[in-house]
Amino acid sequence: MRMYSFVSALALALMPGTVLAQTARPVAPAGMTPATTAPVPQPDIPPTAEPDSTAVPAPSVQVTAPMSAQISASMSGQLEKFPLRDGDHFHKGDVLAEFRCGQQKATLAHAHAEYIKRRGLLDVQNKMKALGQWSVSDLRSAAADERAANADLEMASAVVAQCVIEAPFDGRVSNTMVHNYQYLSAGTPMLEILDDTSLELSMIVSSMELRHLQPGTSFKVHILETDAIYPATISRISGKVDPVSKTIKVYGKLTRPAPDLLPGMTGEAQFGQ
């Protein structure tokens, strides 16, 4: 009978869906407080310093060229002389490009000869007037022909002048877009030039700093590309504050030449150091 009860109980425990009794947890006797787990000691962690919200980041600086230009073809024709390449230096008056202008020069020579002819006929009419043997209509016609010939001469001279493009200032070539002996249409971009003899520093600062900044204020600039610091002064301040960002453009210049700097380099301005 006892064996049958044990087997029945075992079968009942193994049946699906049967929930076994959970192990009873010890219960503290009445009047006693359950024992609590002792806290684990934590290592001392120094408090993290909060960032100073009042600190003003150093203004970013960009090296710029105060004068730059894109030189385009002044006429349609074939390049005969294009001596400069990207990075080359030049002086004011140097030839940047020259076109093949045989036809234009021939037209100029013809216009010059025609002017000399008309000028001579006008001189003859003036001499005849002085002798009293002149005609008003002939004198006026000769004078009009002389003025027309002079206008043609000036037009031909202007066309020939476009055959040669000279540098407008001392500087450096920053980009070339054409090659020698290439045929170009009028207005085709040929090269870009800039004045690298007097570089400028451009930055955007908070408008709240205007109370401390004025033309002539000294500062230093750290250029990332050269990893060097250069002394500079503020040269001018923009005439308008951006009302949205509360910033203003400020420009500076180096106090001494820095041949290792190039337009486009960037860095940070250091004021009050």
CB atoms within 10 A of CB 156: 21
Residue 45 has pLDDT above 70, yes or no: no
Q: What is the CATH number of the domain that holds 212?
A: 2.40.30.170
Tell whether 113 and 206 lie within a shared domain. Answer: no
Q: What is the strand order of the sheet 171-176 is part of? A: 68-72, 189-194, 171-176, 89-90
Asked which of 165, 194, 223 is the last residue of a domain, the reply is 194
* Residues 189 and 258 grouped into a single domain: no
Please say whether the beta carbons of 230 and 254 come within 8 A: yes
Contacts with 258 (C-beta within 8 Å, 6 or more apart), sequence order: 199, 230
Query: Domain count of the chain?
Result: 2
Task: Check residues 30 and 211 and name the one with the higher pLDDT.
Answer: 211
**Is pLDDT above 80 for 262?**
yes
253 and 174 in one domain?
A: no
CATH of the domain at 156: 2.40.50.100
What are the φ and ψ backbone dihedral angles of 123, each rounded to 5 degrees?
Answer: -65, -40
The verdict on 117 and 153 lying in the same domain is yes
Query: Would the pLDDT of 204 be above 70?
Result: yes
> Is 11 part of any domain?
no
The answer to whether 197 touches 263, Cβ cutoff 8 Å, is: no
Task: Output the pLDDT for position 44.
Answer: 54
204 shares a domain with 187: no
Q: Answer yes or no: do 75 and 190 share one domain.
A: yes
- Clarify whether residues 119 and 209 are in a common domain: no
More confident of the two residues 41 and 177: 177
Say if residue 74 is in the same domain as residue 131: yes
* Residue 172 and residue 201 in one domain: no
- pLDDT band, very low/low/confident/very high, at 15 (cuts 50, 70, 90): low
At 213-259, the pLDDT tens digits run: 899 999 999 999 999 999 999 999 999 999 999 999 999 999 988 88
Residue 48 lies in a domain: no
Residue-wise pLDDT for 122-157, tens only, equals: 999 999 888 888 889 999 999 999 999 999 999 999
Q: For residues 139 and 217, state if they share a domain.
A: no
Are 96 and 90 in contact, with CB atoms under 8 Å apart?
Answer: yes
- Of the three residues 146, 163, 194, the one that is the final residue of a domain is 194
Model confidence, pTM: 0.68
Any domain includes 21: no
Q: Find the domain containing 126 and state its range.
A: 68-194
Q: What is the pLDDT of residue 58?
A: 82
